[in-house]
Amino acid sequence: MQIIKNTVVSLHYKMFDADNQLIDQTQPEEPMTYLHGGYDGIFPLVEEQLQGKQVGDQIDVTMQAEDAFGDHEPELVRQEPIDVFPEDIELEVGMMFEADDPETGDVIVFRITDITDGQVTVDGNHPLAGQTLRFEATVASVREATAEEIDHGHVHDGHHHH
């Protein structure tokens, strides 16, 4: 079966940074599964390359930052006084938390990148923002999506995500 709109695709992938260092991969027993056809389940450039492929086919796609996790946006790096954080939490570099964007109302995930002199530096960029990435994948399975999956715009794997 070919990968076309409204098929459920399982992939084994490896993702590399610009220096060809492995930064992410699927486990052999746990492929990544997504609904094909513009449902935002995978990078659009990767989805484009997978169109028409079948089980066993491989792709190797290099994505510039704008095709992957976006450009690094300096305005998403902020310094906040430590006293705006809850007192009962011990703050650490690398810790992540959600906050509302005052301008858009969107929820942004921030990562603490530095704590110095009562100031906490937080970064709302994805850790891989601004990077060129290479995505290597092998198609593990392809099946028709159910009407419910198409209606909801994502794969149903027996768990409910509402």
The full set of domains in the chain, from first to last, is 7-69+130-152 (3.10.50.40), 74-123 (2.40.10.330)
pLDDT of residue 159: 46
For residue 19 the two structure tokens come to 């220096």
Predicted model pTM: 0.80
Q: CB burial class (10 A; 0-12, 13-18, 19+) of residue 35? A: buried
Within the chain, which residues score under 70 in pLDDT?
158-162
Residue pLDDT, tens place only, 75-84:
999 999 999 8
pLDDT of residue 162: 42
pLDDT of residue 158: 54
pLDDT of residue 101: 76
Angstrom CA distances, 47 to 6, 29, 31, 131, stand at 12, 22, 16, 19
Q: CB burial class (10 A; 0-12, 13-18, 19+) of residue 65? A: middle
Is there a contact between 125 and 77 (Cβ–Cβ < 8 Å)? yes
